Amino acid sequence: MMTKNIRREDMSRAVIVHAILLTYTLVALYPIFLVIINAFKSRKGIFSAPMSLPNAETFSLEGFTKVLARSNFELFFFNSFTVTVVTIVIVLLLASMAAWALSEYKFPGNTWLALYLAVGIMVPIRLGSVSILNLIVELGLINTLTALILVYVAQGLPLAIFILTEFMHQIPKDLKEAARCDGVGEFKIFFAVILPLIRPAVATVAVFTMIPIWNDLWFPLILAPGDGKQTITLGIQQFIGQYVTDWNAVLASLSLAIIPILILYLIFSRQLIRGLTSGAVK
Amino acid sequence: MADLKLDQIRKSYGAVDVLHGIDLDVKDGEFVVFVGPSGCGKSTLLRIIAGLEDITGGDLMIGGDVVNTKSPRDRGIAMVFQSYALYPHMTVYKNMAFGLKLANHDKSAIDQRVREAARILQLDQLLDRRPSELSGGQRQRVAIGRAIVRQPKVFLFDEPLSNLDAALRVQTRIEIAKLHQELESTIVYVTHDQVEAMTLADKIVVMNAGNVEQVGSPMQLYHHPQTRFVAGFIGSPAMNFTTVHIDAVEQGRVTVTVPGGAKAVLPFDVPAGDVGKDVELGVRPEHLSPGEQGDLSISGEVDVVEKLGDSTYLYLKLANGDRFTVRAPGHSRIKIGETVSAAAEAGASHLFDANGKAYDKLQCPAEYSADE
């Protein structure tokens, strides 16, 4: 009797939890769903029945053809991809090395340095837009992808260092000491022992870093708005006019823009699942 | 292979002194065990030898070279950790080969060494497995294999058997003993288990509160403990202690009154000035025979009986409230509540002064002596 009640309670709780999660998932996915279905409709179809699926009458690829023919879509794409990937690589490398230093070595000012880096998480980088713009102009990097990469690295580092430091603390001390006794140098310990073990954390950080960069409109707009240097979010803006917006093209390019980030996410998320430290120490 | 010499090794963490000047000589090929209760500094000492802790004072020599400031990799040591500390993302083979590969050894030489170690440790079949696919005993063997392939001057073991279950512990203990015979290497081994120390060591170093209490062969420590601490630590079940009163001292003999009023004449060199003092008498449970009369008789009420099959342990409550453990034969019919008298030969007893230091025993019978 007792156990039955408890089991029923567990069941109803599970149902409620799943209902909430499912609702949230729908809320989150529905706009994306709308974007994608409308990308495959004619202009008339979008305005007359925005919620319905494309049918024989409204189906049209005119948005895609317009995007691919009329704009430098491939170039925007390439710019976004370059900026994102280069930033991720730099952030992961610098952040993991910094995290290793902060978590493993005792040196004067260690705590203060960690705190200083953590403060960066709380200060929005956009507050410094004016000085960043001045700085980039003085460096002569305006209208370059390098400018974007530098700013995004600065934006991504604090959180990345914070997360990775926490993970590095969890690596058993014995493992590092065993490696040291084994004649392994410090650099090799870092690259051959520590990095493979925190792969799940590195993947998490990669996802965290990548999405805001891919979606950012602000810094491309002020730092690299010139021809040939626009990222995809900025490139799409040419279809959004003050008086007329070419919804076909906007929706088609948004749909296309989802693909690369989705691929990157799938690559990293495979690493998230694995817990790698099992079997290292009892 | 090399000898190891510790000269006045001291270690402090800030104002806290952990090791107070340790002197020790370990000969080439010797198996030395550091044993002591937790917090006695034995692991710290091992980590100092490994180079994982800085030395506050004194000199550490491996093979005649002072290695105080050398990093672990340059000391020619290999360490086996209690937690195994295997690289979880590498196979057994790679775990063992990793250090050699980084030292730029020839590939075929590495392969030969790894396969040889795997053969000695019976890991041949497991070389392609990951640590997570191994049992505790297998993991510990891989950790030992990783040490063997380095062909170090000194092997360091930090409580390597503590994470294994009882049966596996005995088996692995025997394997380590055989390994030492086969490799004839210098081994320093840390444990808190005195049985491991007794069975494995050529030389035991008993540590207590950052000091070396006594160094000696297992039998020396068992038969001739120099302090009450060593006497109580070595041997299982532990030695019995009770307070006795010194009545008289004459040429190499001392007469004491044991709890309950009986007198005993024991062969100890006690200074005449100690007459009238209370000192501590120690007798091992296995040296007491219940129901008999002897040089040293003591009686008490049995309050616990433990039957182990081959023997039975009786726990006596003496007249002064102290407890004595007595080993009786397995077929003993003695029951709780009975008053039992147990006797030991005078030569089996130990006597300690108020500071816990042993009085010299004179005329020690062969069966209670480490001399061969």
Q: Give me the residue spans of the domains in chain A.
A: 2-60, 71-273
* pLDDT at residue A1 is higher than 60: no
Between chains, do A175 and B133 touch, taking CB under 8 Å as contact? no
**DSSP three-state, residue B322:** coil
d(CA B233, CA B36) in angstroms, rounded, equals 8
d(CA B26, CA B6) in angstroms, rounded, equals 8
B13 inside domain: yes
Smallest Cα distance from B116 to chain A, Å? 18
* Confidence band, pLDDT 50/70/90 cuts, at residue A277: very low
**DSSP β-ladder status, B16-26 and B263-266:** unpaired
- Which residues of chain A are within 8 Å of residue B88 when distances are taken between CB atoms? 197, 276-280
Smallest Cα distance from A58 to chain B, Å? 54
Interface test with A, best of B98, B146, B169 (most A CBs within 10 A): B98
B372 inside domain: no
B51 shares its domain with B170 = yes
B367 inside domain: no
B145 shares its domain with B172 = yes
Q: Which two tokens stand for residue A280?
A: 């290292």
Q: Could you write out the three-class secondary structure of chain A? A: CHHHHHHHHHHHHHHHHHHHHHHHHHHHHHHHHHHHHHHCECHHHHHHCCCCCCCCCCECCHHHHHHHHHCCHHHHHHHHHHHHHHHHHHHHHHHHHHHHHHHHCCCCCHHHHHHHHHHHHHCCHHHHHHHHHHHHHHHCCCCCHHHHHHHHHHHHHHHHHHHHHHHHHHCCHHHHHHHHHCCCCHHHHHHHHHHHHCHHHHHHHHHHHHHHHHHCCHHHHHHCCCCCCCCHHHHHHHHECCCCECHHHHHHHHHHHHHHHHHHHHHHHHHHHCCCCCCCCC
User: Is A195 in CB contact (< 8 Å) with chain B?
Assistant: no
B215 inside domain: yes
The tens digit of pLDDT for each residue in B220-241 reads 999 999 999 999 999 989 999 9
pLDDT of B307 reads 93
In A, minimum Cα distance to B133 occurs at A279
Between chains, do B71 and A180 touch, taking CB under 8 Å as contact? yes
Q: Higher pLDDT residue, A30 or A242? A: A30
In A, minimum Cα distance to B132 occurs at A279
d(CA B304, CA B325) in angstroms, rounded, equals 9
B14 shares its domain with B135 = yes
**DSSP β-ladder status, B278-283 and B240-250:** antiparallel
- Which residues of chain A are within 8 Å of residue B143 when distances are taken between CB atoms? 178
Q: Please say which residue of B187, B216, B231 terminates a domain.
A: B231
B309 inside domain: yes
- Give the residue carrying structure tokens 């000047």: B21
Between chains, do B132 and A178 touch, taking CB under 8 Å as contact? no
The tens digit of pLDDT for each residue in B186-201 reads 999 999 998 999 999 9
d(CA B19, CA B35) in angstroms, rounded, equals 14
Between chains, do A177 and B77 touch, taking CB under 8 Å as contact? no
CATH of the domain at B163: 3.40.50.300
- Which residues of chain A are within 8 Å of residue B141 when distances are taken between CB atoms? none
Q: Which domain holds residue B269?
A: 237-359
B39 shares its domain with B139 = yes
Between chains, do B130 and A279 touch, taking CB under 8 Å as contact? yes
Segment B22-42 shows an average pLDDT of 93
Is the CATH number 1.10.3720.10 carried by domain A71-273? yes
Q: Please say which residue of B214, B231, B248 terminates a domain.
A: B231
B218 shares its domain with B244 = no
Averaged pLDDT of chain A: 86
Between chains, do B139 and A276 touch, taking CB under 8 Å as contact? no
Which one, of B329, B242, B260, lies nearest residue B289 by Cα? B329
Between chains, do A181 and B131 touch, taking CB under 8 Å as contact? no
B209 inside domain: yes
B178 shares its domain with B291 = no
Radius of gyration of chain B (CA): 24
pLDDT of A279 reads 44
B91 shares its domain with B185 = yes
User: Is A280 in CB contact (< 8 Å) with chain B?
Assistant: yes
Query: Are residues A153 and A209 in contact, defined by beta-carbon separation less than 8 angstroms?
Result: no
Of chain B, the percentage scoring pLDDT greater than 70 comes to 99
- The minimal CB distance from A281 to the residues B83, B99, B133 is found for B83
* pLDDT at residue B352 is higher than 90: yes
**DSSP three-state, residue B114:** helix
Q: Looking at residue B332, what DSSP letter applies?
A: -
Chain B positions touching chain A (beta carbons under 8 Å): 50-52, 71-73, 77-79, 81-89, 98-99, 102-103, 130-134, 136, 139, 143, 146, 150, 156, 163
pLDDT of B186 reads 94
* Residue B83 exposure: Cα atoms within 13 Å on the Cβ side: 17
Interface test with B, best of A171, A182, A187, A191 (most B CBs within 10 A): A182
What is the sign, positive or negative, of the torsion defined by CA atoms of A151, A155, A158, A162? negative
Smallest Cα distance from B213 to chain A, Å? 29
Q: Please say which residue of B180, B207, B231 terminates a domain.
A: B231
Quick one: residue B11, left, alpha or beta (phi over 0 = left, psi -120 to 50 = alpha)?
Answer: beta
Specify the number of domains making up chain B. 2
CATH of the domain at B255: 2.40.50.140
B142 shares its domain with B273 = no
B48 shares its domain with B113 = yes
pLDDT of A271 reads 72
- Which residues of chain B are within 8 Å of residue A278 when distances are taken between CB atoms? 88, 132
B241 shares its domain with B227 = no
**DSSP three-state, residue B41:** coil
In B, minimum Cα distance to A188 occurs at B102
How many other CB atoms sit within 10 Å of the CB of residue B95?
27
User: What's the Cα-to-Cα distance from B337 to each of A70, B20, B305, B330, rounded to whole Å?
Assistant: 104, 48, 10, 18
| Helices B136-148/B92-102 angle, 10° precision | 20
B278 shares its domain with B165 = no
B100 shares its domain with B31 = yes
pTM passes above 0.95: no
Which one, of B291, B266, B286, lies nearest residue B350 by Cα? B266
Cα dihedral value B237, B238, B239, B244, nearest 10: -120
- Which residues of chain B are within 8 Å of residue A180 when distances are taken between CB atoms? 51-52, 71-73
Query: Are residues B266 and B253 in contact, defined by beta-carbon separation less than 8 angstroms?
Result: yes
B365 inside domain: no
